[in-house]
């Protein structure tokens, strides 16, 4: 595989709740697993994130009377910010997909633990200033290039990619190693375009393979 030095593979939220059968399923979410496992073998460093919410988390519709999942009550127009309960530590849904090669992970970053603040990005919580610690880790290891994979392409992968760009990393999104929820419909295409415009490269896993 053609992977530049000082690169990291970032595996975003490949958890049971984001796969079919889970509480917040991403269509075909489980299909990313074999691709990510293969990519993980080729990288010197692999970092995974886990969405990790207490039961009283502000992003759960169940904690707002009268609200239902995918309602928008604040945040940007058209952006769903209330979700079904998901990724609660101690529940099966919070665990990584069972076929994911977690032995390849150098670091696992958990995010979204503050009951009053969501965290889509692997780098900052949704106030866009509280760090998760990932930036310090990557900087400390002189990482220059971040390859993103995982779930959901139009939520946590998207916000992670946008922050990676802002932080000055060369940012590549391995599209077939990601799946999106596309809610509302069309948002997935918009966000791919937004990432491209901001300077991310969108590629397929096969492009990393040696010919
Ligand atoms: C995610 C919605 C809520 C994600 C996490 O991992 O993309 N989406 N929490
Ligand atoms: Zn979440």
Q: What are phi and psi of 150, to 5 degrees?
A: 120, -155
Per the residue annotation, which of 17, 51, 87, 111 is the catalytic one? Answer: 111
**What gap in Å lies between CA 28 and CA 80, rounded to an integer?**
20
- DSSP 8-class letter at 72: -
More confident residue, 5 or 80: 5
Residues 163-196: tens digit of each pLDDT = 999 999 999 999 999 999 998 889 999 999 999 9
Most ligand 1 atoms within 8 A of CB, residue of 11, 13, 15, 123 to mutate: 13
Residue 72's pLDDT band, with cuts at 50, 70 and 90, is confident
Tell me the CA distances in angstroms from 133 to 47, 109, 138, 161, 166, one per residue in order.
12, 8, 9, 16, 16
Local structure of 47: helix, strand or coil = strand
Residue 11 has pLDDT above 80, yes or no: yes
Query: For 90-136, what is the HEC assignment?
Result: CCHHHCECCCCCHHHCCEEEEECCCCCCCCCCCCECCCCCCECCHHH
Residue 148's pLDDT band (boundaries 50, 70, 90)?
very high
Contact, 112 vs 88, CB < 8 A?
no
Active site residue 13: yes
Q: Verify whether ligand 1 is closer than 6 Å to residue 48 (CB atom).
A: no
Give the pLDDT of residue 4: 87
Q: How high is the mean pLDDT of the chain?
A: 94
Give Rg (Cα) of the chain.
Answer: 16
Q: Is the pLDDT of residue 1 over 80?
A: no
Q: Is 156 a catalytic residue?
A: yes
Mean pLDDT along residues 106-131 = 95
Pairing relation of β-strands 201-203 and 107-111? unpaired
**Burial class (CB within 10 angstroms; exposed 0-12, middle 13-18, buried 19+) of 37:** middle
Read off the pLDDT band of 81 (50, 70, 90): confident
208 Cα: distance to centroid of ligand 1 (angstroms): 27
What pTM does this model have?
Answer: 0.96
């Amino acid at each position: 595989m053609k992977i530049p030095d000082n690169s990291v593979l970032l595996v975003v939220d490949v958890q049971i709740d984001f796969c079919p059968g889970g509480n917040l399923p991403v269509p075909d979410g489980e299909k990313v697993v074999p691709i990510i496992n293969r990519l993980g073998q080729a990288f010197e460093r692999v970092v995974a994130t886990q969405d990790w919410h207490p039961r009283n988390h502000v992003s759960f519709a169940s904690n707002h009377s009268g609200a239902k999942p995918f309602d928008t009550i604040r945040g940007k127009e058209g952006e769903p910010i209330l979700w079904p309960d998901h990724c609660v530590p101690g529940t099966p849904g919070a665990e990584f997909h069972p076929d994911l090669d977690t032995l390849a992970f150098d670091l696992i970053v958990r995010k979204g633990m503050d009951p009053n603040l969501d965290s889509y990005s692997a780098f900052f919580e949704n106030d866009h200033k509280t760090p998760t610690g990932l930036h310090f880790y990557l900087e400390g290891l002189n990482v220059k290039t971040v390859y993103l994979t995982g779930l959901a392409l139009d939520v946590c992968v998207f916000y992670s990619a946008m922050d990676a760009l802002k932080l000055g990393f060369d940012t590549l999104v391995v599209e077939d190693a990601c799946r999106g929820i596309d809610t509302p419909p069309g948002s997935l295409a918009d966000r791919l375009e937004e990432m491209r415009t901001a300077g991310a490269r969108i590629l397929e896993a096969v492009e990393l393979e040696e010919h």
